[in-house]
């Protein structure tokens, strides 16, 4: 009986250690997935439109794609796996962000987003551009190479 109580006593500690290993694995796995933006993170990572509303100044150090989407949108759901693949394939070369237009109407309004999905393509230098609709993976690849990485 004492052995059973001893095992039960150390079980939570073992679970904590096992959980830490899973946390580090999840951080590695999630590092390549699109990153959800809020207004606060957008201002910090992409464009501080409050500080300089009339002059575009990208805050990032890698080109990025911002997916303006809605959770109820069918085409948005179709586009999501392709954007995850783009994020994985170009890990370290570009960043893929997501903005839920229902949770962040101010960000959507700032860029005149009226339909979803809409992608905002932001090169490291230069002017951002928009594309609308659920583009197929091969078109996303072409746009990444020609618009963001300038390899074509």
Q: Which residues are catalytic?
A: 73, 76
Give the pair of three-digit tokens for residue 112.
């005149």
Cis bond leading into 83, ω under 30°?
no
- Cβ atoms within 10 Å of 142's Cβ, excluding its own: 13
Tell me how far CA of residue 40 lies from CA of 11, 37, 43, 49, 99, in angstroms: 40, 8, 5, 11, 12
CB 114 within 8 A of CB 56: no
Q: With beta carbons less than 8 A apart as the criterion, state whether 65 and 96 touch.
A: yes
Phi, psi of 95, rounded to the nearest 5 degrees: -125, 140
């Amino acid at each position: 009986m004492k052995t059973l109580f001893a095992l039960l006593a150390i079980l939570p500690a073992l679970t904590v250690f096992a959980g830490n290993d899973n946390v580090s694995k999840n951080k590695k796995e999630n590092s390549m997935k699109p990153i959800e933006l809020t207004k606060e993170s957008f201002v910090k990572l992409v464009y501080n439109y409050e500080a300089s509303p009339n002059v575009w100044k990208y805050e990032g150090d890698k080109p990025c794609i911002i997916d303006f989407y809605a959770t109820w949108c069918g085409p948005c759901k179709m586009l999501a796996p392709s954007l995850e693949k783009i994020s994985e394939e170009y890990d370290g070369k570009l960043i893929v962000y997501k903005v839920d237009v229902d949770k962040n109407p101010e960000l959507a309004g700032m860029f005149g987003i009226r339909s979803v999905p809409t992608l905002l393509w932001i090169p490291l230098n230069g002017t951002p551009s928009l594309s609308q609709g659920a583009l197929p993976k091969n078109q996303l690849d072409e746009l990444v190479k020609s618009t963001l990485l300038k390899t074509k």
